[in-house]
Structure 1
Amino acid sequence: MKRCISGNVLSCFGVLLVCFFLCVGEGLAKDEILIGYSASLTGGYSHVGKMIKDGYTVWSDMVNQKGGIFVKDLGKKLRVRLVMYDDKSDPSTAAKLYEKLITDDKVDLVLSPWGSSIGFPVSGICQKYKMPIVYVWVSSDPIFKQGYDYAFCLIQPASQHEWSPLDLLRTSNLKEPPRKIIYISTKELYGITTAKGGFVRAKELGLEPYYEEVEKGCKDFTPLITKMKSLGVDAISTGLYEAEFFLLFKQMQELRYFPKFIFASHGTDLPDFWEMFGQAGEGACAGGYYHTKWKTFENDEFVERYKKISGTFPTHYGATAAGGQIMHQAVEKAGTLEREKIKRVLQEEEFKCLLYPRVKFVNEGGYTNLNRFAFTGVLQWQNGKLITIYPSSLAEAQFVYPMPWKSR
């Protein structure tokens, strides 16, 4: 009987010993964290894709130069290796690529694609495979009202992106503030969400708002500009993408339509805008999602490294690296690469990044995993430089109003 018990004990001990060495061996063998994402390098969003890729590349280089991400379970730092695919600016392609990243490439983590149209189907894939994802430039409200608890929204929901310029106009003690404002959007998820959100807010604040949708890739804004002139619209807020907005701005000058105020979620924040329009762009405002001069987490280092890689300063698209920063902190706080533990840390802990000094995800107002401390600032072209004018805590100068239209 004693021999039998001793034999069983030894057998159990042997099994435990084998398991121990297998686990240790696995930990020692793992020397990198595989992180996947897609970028729109071709197709309709290709003007953004390279900047997204550069932003993530800079982030991974910053991490790896410091030895990697520390994983407590393994007792060491692991270098980051990125796996990137071109989603061709196509939502269904993006969804298939994220499924491939998770099931075939066996990535440890994923990073955000760009754009709500792309991000919407990807959210379903991440929910299906229980893969946490921190969305950066994916913010349309319906995505975060599905009850999906693996998708986290770093910036404000899109319906609030055009509230800040209204707050700026309302609080600036203007002698002749605009009375009529028009919201212009392309017929796609993000633009419609932002424009309708701005329209509702403007009406609540006592302005006379108008709303127009145009086809993506619109080639002639003449009918719309003629309509705006006849209505006496003196303020414009758009969710148009760069190509459409640049054409709108060009044709406004040709038709001698000079509103007092222009705000664009996209386009005016790019160096291309000033290069194309020069002094005519003086006073135009942009969405303040990010600025190279903000004293936020690792921003100075990020800007310098980005310039070396791309030869130019990062715009907010490049600052998509903020999603990588959040995931880095989540892994180190969780001490593991286990997805459920990382998700729980994202839900419970506080973080910091290029965009915001504080990040805390909460469930409120029917939304899941919104950043409580997110805000959208306002930037303005003044003397050939794009500077922050709102909120006051980040403002570099006073708001210039009305637009001077120096080239008229």
Structure 2
Amino acid sequence: MTYSPMRLRRRTFLAGAGSLAMSLALPALADQGAGPIRVGQTLPLTGPLASVGSIHRLAVEVFVDTINERGGLLGRKLEVVLLDDQSQPANARTLYERLITADKVDLLMGPYGTSAIIAAMGVAQRFGKLLIQSSLGDPKLAPYEMQFPVLPLGPDPFRADTEVVLDAYAATREPPKTIAFVTSKFPSALELAKGGQEVALKRDMKVQMFLEYEFGTRDFGGIAARIKDANPDLLWSGAIGLEATQLLDAMARIDYKPRRQFYLFPAPGPTVVNPNANGLTSLTWFEDHEPFTKNGGAAKFVALYTERAKASGLPWPRAESQAAAEFAAWQILEAAATAVGQVNDKAMAAWLKTNSVNTVLGVRSFEGQFNTGPASTKLRQVQDGKWVTVWPAGFRPPEADMIAP
């Protein structure tokens, strides 16, 4: 079943069979003599990752509307069956099996989040399906030869990501000398925190605390108190989604704010508008300013996404890394199908292994270990209610600088 473009713009959902089967069928053009190309995907539309899932969903809508307006993929309309995995990896595994066996989709697109991606990847591998994914934080967890990562993390982000963070702070007037790691047990976050601790120790920084908490934690009162007691020069937080704002609020309630604070994968909208977030830093691979907007299709993507995001009432209605990574994943899917001239998982995967694709994230290639390409991670900062890229300096908008004590 498909919906008209007007209904899509209202982002209408229909309840399918079962509690997990909330699905979105994106709009199609008139029949062009062949059936639609159907792509199956799950996203966390509910649960603790829903704030990020809504960003990815909107990016999917923008891409599919755009390609269908251009005549579809391989001359056929593109239709997406989008299911809610409720932020649960076990649900993702079940739903990807359903997409292949019951819904009989032609292609798959990866879900959001490392755990869900690993679950979906197992299903894709069992059925020999291509899986392009936008947000796996731990490349070594993805040995499957037909999976392709969108984020330019490189093969070893576990140390490299914290190197970027500490390089940025080392260039300020007073580089931090002590650090505390507080991280979710979400797989990629925990591994990145462990790698970050290695980097800090090699730089002769004093690690005052390494604290792990369960993913989905909502009460950060006790954690905030321990951070205050440690009082590090730099707080390294492996927060996922809304955990960042919950920790910020918990520290504010005890009248404490770290001198410097870094958050790994926070929900961008709720974080940037939090009154306690000014000066906070996070990783980025795309923001809606130059030189990012010179990437392939980026300027148009920014305009379309921003318009939709404002109409949808998103708390941060601007294109950034989460939205851009999802859109880039679909650009890669389109490029592979167009290049081989057919919907064929193995042929598309083989083409991607030996070719590059110009995306909104820049040129992506997959020749490295775990199908990774070169790393290109940057640092952004909350400045007066806006995200601003601050490192490397060449990616800063005009007249911007890094806020530091």
Q: TM-score, normalised by structure 1?
A: 0.81
Q: Deviations over 1:197-247 (max 9, x none)?
A: 211222222222232111334344344344334434110121212332212
Q: Equivalent residues in 2 for 1:136-215 (5 A)? A: 136-144=134-142, 147-155=143-151, 156=153, 159=158, 160-170=160-170, 172=171, 174-209=172-207, 210-215=209-214
1:211-360 aligned at under 5 Å gives the runs 211-267=210-266, 270-277=268-275, 280-293=276-289, 294-295=292-293, 296-311=295-310, 312-319=317-324, 320-355=326-361, 357-360=362-365
In the TM superposition, residue 79 of structure 1 has moved relative to its aligned partner by 2.1
* Residues 121, 132 of structure 1: alpha-carbon distance in 2 compared, 3 angstrom cutoff: same
For the 8 Å contact 1:139–1:153, the answer to whether it is kept is no
Asked if the contact 1:178/1:235 (under 8 Å) is kept, the reply is yes
State how far apart, in whole Å, the 2-side matches of 1:93 and 1:217 are: 16
Distance, in Å, in 1 between the alignment partners of 2:45 and 2:115 is: 15
Aligned partner of residue 266 in structure 1, secondary structure = strand
TM-score (norm 2): 0.82
Give the Å deviation of 1:67: 1.4
Note the C-alpha offset of 1:29: 4.5
1:87 to 61, 85, 98: 85
1:60-93 deviations in Å (ceiling 9; x for gaps):
11111111223xxxxxx22211111111222122
Query: 1:231 corresponds to which letter in structure 2?
Result: A
Is the Cα contact below 8 Å between 1:217 and 1:243 reproduced in 2? no
1:158–1:190 CA contact under 8 A, matched in 2: no
- State the alpha-carbon separation in 1 of the partners of residues 127 and 33 from structure 2: 25
When residues 274 and 139 of structure 1 are mapped into structure 2, their CA distance, relative to the original with a 3 A threshold, is: closer
Indicate how the Cα distance of structure 1 residues 158 and 99 shifts in structure 2: closer, same or farther if over 3 A, else same: farther
8 Å CA contact 2:40–2:109 kept in 1: the answer is: yes
Partner of 1:326, secondary structure, is helix
* Cα deviation, residue 31, structure 1: 4.3
- Give the Cα–Cα distance (whole angstroms) in 2 for the partners of residues 395 and 275 of structure 1: 20
One-letter identity of the residue aligned with 2:282: A
Structure 2 match to 1:376: 377
Unpaired segments of 5 or more residues in structure 1? 1-27, 71-76, 403-408
Alignment-derived partner of residue 99 in structure 2: 101
Post-superposition offset of 1:324 = 0.3
State whether residues 379 and 386 of structure 1, in contact with CA within 8 Å, keep that contact through their aligned partners in structure 2. Answer: yes
Is this contact kept in 1: 2:225–2:251, CA < 8 A? no
**Cα gap change, 1:229/1:272 in structure 2, threshold over 3 Å: closer, same or farther?**
closer
Change (3 A) 1:243 1:231: same
For the residue of structure 2 that corresponds to 1:206, the secondary structure is coil
Of all paired residues, the percent bearing the same amino acid is 24
| Residues 137 and 189, structure 2, Cα contact 8 Å, conserved in 1 | no
Moved more, 253-262 or 197-206: 253-262
Offset from partner CA, 1:157-181 (integer Å, 9 cap, x none): 65244332112123x1x33211111
Q: Where in structure 1 do 4 or more consecutive aligned residues deviate above 6 Å?
A: none
- Given that 1:37 and 1:84 are in contact with CA atoms closer than 8 Å, whether structure 2 keeps it comes out as yes
Structure with higher helix content: 1
Contact 1:181 1:237 in 2 (8 A): yes
- Write the deviation string for residues 290-309 of structure 1: whole angstroms up to 9, x where unpaired: 21222222122112222333
Contact 1:141 1:193 in 2 (8 A): no
Q: Is the 8 A contact 1:38 1:113 kept in 2?
A: yes
Shift of 1:149: 0.3
- Would the aligned equivalents of 1:283 and 1:401 in 2 still touch at CA under 8 Å? yes
Letter in 2 for 1:44: P
Of residues 42, 45, 48, the one that matches 1:44 is 48
Q: Secondary structure at the match of 1:211?
A: strand
Between the aligned partners of 1:259 and 1:376, the Cα distance in structure 2 is 24
User: Could you tell me how far apart the structure 1 residues matched to 2:88 and 2:218 are?
Assistant: 22
Structure 1 residue 104, shift from structure 2 partner: 2.6
